[in-house]
Amino acid sequence: MKQGLSRFFRNLPAVFGLVVLLLVMAAAILAGLLYPGDPFAMVGKPFQPPLSEYPLGTDMLGRDLLAGILHGARTTLLVGALATLIATLVGVAIGGLAGYFGGHLDNFLMRLTELFQTIPFFLFAILLVAVMGASVGSVIIAIAVVSWPPMARLVRGEFMSMRNREFVQACVSLGMGHTRIIFLHILPNTLSSIIVTGSLMVATAILIESGLSFLGLSDANAMSWGFIIGSGRTVLRTAWWICAMPGMAILLTVMSINLVGDGLNDALNPRLNSA
C-alpha cells in the first residue's frame, strides 16, 4: 500500500486530478461561508457577463452564478459519493455471494443483474426519479440502482478466481468458516479493483445527476450544476456563460475523478500494465 501511494504521487496527471478534486471539495465545504444565504436569491441585474459585478456573472433571473456553482458542488459531490457508496455495497454483496457460492445462487443473482442491465441506464434512472418524486434522496437511489450491476459483475469475477486459488483452498482445509474466508482472505485481495472501479463510478454518477437535473428531475430546493445548465439552455446564444460555467465545473470534476481513478489503478494494480 505504501509503495502504491508513492507510485500514485509520481503520476503527474493523477496528482493534478487530485488537486482539482480537492478544490471542488473545498468549494463545496466553503460555499456556506463564502456565499451565505440562498443561492436561488436574485441579487442583481440579469444577464451580466462574467468579470463584471459578479466574478462569473448572473443568470436570466439575476442569480449569482458563482454562488450557484459553489453550492451546486455540494449536491453534486454528495449525490456522486453516496450513490457510488450504495452501488458499491450492493454490487460487492451480490457479486461476492454469486462468485463465492456459485451454483444456483450465482445463476439467480446473475440473471437478476442482467435484468437490470437490459434497461438503458439513463432512461431507467429517469423513470425511477419520476416514480419516486424529485428529491436528493430519490436521485441518489436512482443512480445507485442503475450503477451497481457492473460492480457486481466485476466482484463476481474476482471472487470466482480467488475461490479457486490455493490460498483460499488452504483456508478451507484449515477449517475456516465462509464469513472469515470472505472478509479476511478474499475481500482484501479484491479491494484494489473495487476502489478503482468505485472511483470511476463517482464520475459516471455525477454525469447522471447532471443529466437528471438538466431535465428538471432534481430537488427543486437544491442548487445543482445540471439545473443551472438546464435553465440557461434557452439563452445559450445570448448568454453563453450561464451554461458554460457549470459545464466547465462538470468537465473538470469528472475529468479529475477519472484521472485519480486511473492513477489509483496504476498504483494499486501495477502488474496489469507493467511495461
Partner 1 sequence: MSAQPPLLQIEGLTIDLPPQADRRHAVQNLSLTLERNQILCIVGESGSGKSLMSRAVLGLFPSRHVQPSAGKIMFDGEDMLRVTPERMRDLRGNRISMIFQEPMTALNPVLSIGAQIEEALAVHQRVDRKARRNRVLDMLNAVNLPDPEKILQSYPHQLSGGQRQRAMIAMALMMEPDILIADEPTTALDVTTQAQILKLIREIQQKRGMGVLFVTHDFGVVAEVADRVAVMQHGHIVEQGLAVDVLDHPQHAYTQALLGSVPSLTPGPKRDFGSDKVMLAVQGLKKSFVSGGGFFRGSSREVKALDAVNFEIRRGETLGIVGESGSGKSTVARCITRLLDADAGSIQVDGVDIAGFTQKELRPIRRRVQMVFQDPFGSLNPRRTVGQLIAEGPIVHGTAAAIAWERALELLELVGLERRSADRYPHEFSGGQRQRIGLARALALQPDILVADEPVSALDVSVQSQVLRLLSDIRKKLGLTVLFITHDLRVASQVCDSVAVMLRGKVVEYGAVADVYANPQHPYTKELLAAVPGKNWSHGREGLVLA
- With binding defined as CB under 8 A, does residue 175 bind partner 1? yes
* DSSP-derived secondary structure letter, 102: -
Using CB under 8 A, pick the residue from 29, 30, 44, 180 that binds partner 1. 180
Contact present, 67 and 39 (Cβ < 8 Å): yes
Classify each residue of 76-87 as buried b or exposed e, where b means 16 or more C-beta atoms within 10 Å of its C-beta.
Answer: bbbbbbbbbbbb
179, with CB counted inside 10 A (0-12, 13-18, 19+), is exposed
Part in contact with partner 1 (CB under 8 A); list of ranges 15-23, 45-53, 104-112, 180-188: 180-188
CB 84 within 8 A of CB 105: no
What number of chain residues touch partner 1 (CB under 8 A)? 18
What is the rounded CA–CA span in Å between residue 184 and residue 179? Answer: 8
Kindly state whether residue 188 participates in binding partner 1, applying the rule CB under 8 A.
yes
* Beta carbon nearer to partner 1, 118 or 173: 173
- What is the sign, positive or negative, of the torsion defined by CA atoms of 129, 132, 135, 139? negative
| Contacts of partner 1 in 153-172 (CB under 8 A) | 165-167, 169-172
Straight-line distance from the first to the last Cα atom of the chain, in angstroms, rounded to the nearest whole number: 20
Q: Applying CB under 8 A, which part among 85-93, 99-107, 179-187, 222-230 lies near partner 1?
A: 179-187
Residue 122 or 185: the one with the smaller Cβ distance to partner 1 is 185
- Residue 119: which residues within 8 A CB-CB, separation 6 or more? none
30/43 Cα distance (integer angstroms): 20
> To the nearest whole angstrom, how small is the minimum distance from the Cβ of residue 77 to partner 1?
31
Rounded CA gap, 263 and 255, in Å? Answer: 12
Q: Minimum distance from CB of 189 to partner 1 (Å)?
A: 6
Among 23, 176, 207, 235, indicate the residue that binds partner 1 (CB under 8 A).
Answer: 176
Residue 12 or 184 having the CB closest to partner 1:
184
Q: Could you tell me the smallest distance in angstroms from the CB atom of residue 96 to partner 1?
A: 16
Query: Site map for partner 1, 70-109, x if CB under 8 A?
Result: ----------------------------------------
CA dihedral sign, ordered 203, 208, 209, 210:
positive
Tell me which residues touch partner 1 (CB under 8 A). 165-167, 169-177, 180, 184-185, 188-189, 275
